């Protein structure tokens, strides 16, 4: 079953017709609303700037947040640390399991 719908998003004074999955409609409309909200915030702070420059700043802000979120979700440093700690533990347990030489004093008794 094809569960696609056509919607029109309004952003920056333009209409954008899209075909999307029905399940994604709320998220798509929310994203468009976020763009419009940020654009309006930039318009209020910089009323004399051309729209294209304001849209560029909105895109930059979203890209920066995306990169920051990617770093926050990067688990590689934790995986590396766990691997290093595992090696230390493996080495420790290997030493514990090695047969210990008998003390000379014990063998003399």
Residue scoring higher pLDDT (106 or 42): 42
Tally of CB atoms within 10 A around 54: 20
Q: Name which of 29-38, 59-68, 93-102 the model is least confident about.
A: 93-102
pLDDT tens digits along 1-37: 569 999 999 999 999 999 999 999 999 999 999 999 9
pLDDT of residue 36: 96
Residue 12 phi, psi dihedral angles, 5° rounding: 55, 35
- Residue 21 parent element (H or E): strand 14-21
């Amino acid at each position: 079953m094809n569960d696609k719908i056509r919607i029109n998003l309004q952003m920056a004074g333009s209409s954008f017709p899209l075909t999307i999955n029905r399940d994604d409609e709320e998220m798509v409309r929310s994203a468009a609303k976020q763009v419009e909200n940020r654009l309006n915030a930039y318009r209020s702070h910089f009323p004399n700037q051309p729209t294209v420059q304001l849209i560029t700043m909105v895109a930059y802000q979203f890209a920066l947040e995306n990169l920051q979120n990617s770093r926050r979700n990067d688990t590689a440093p934790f995986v590396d640390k766990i691997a290093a700690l595992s090696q230390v533990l493996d080495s420790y347990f290997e030493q514990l399991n090695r047969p210990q030489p008998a003390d000379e004093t014990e063998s003399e008794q």
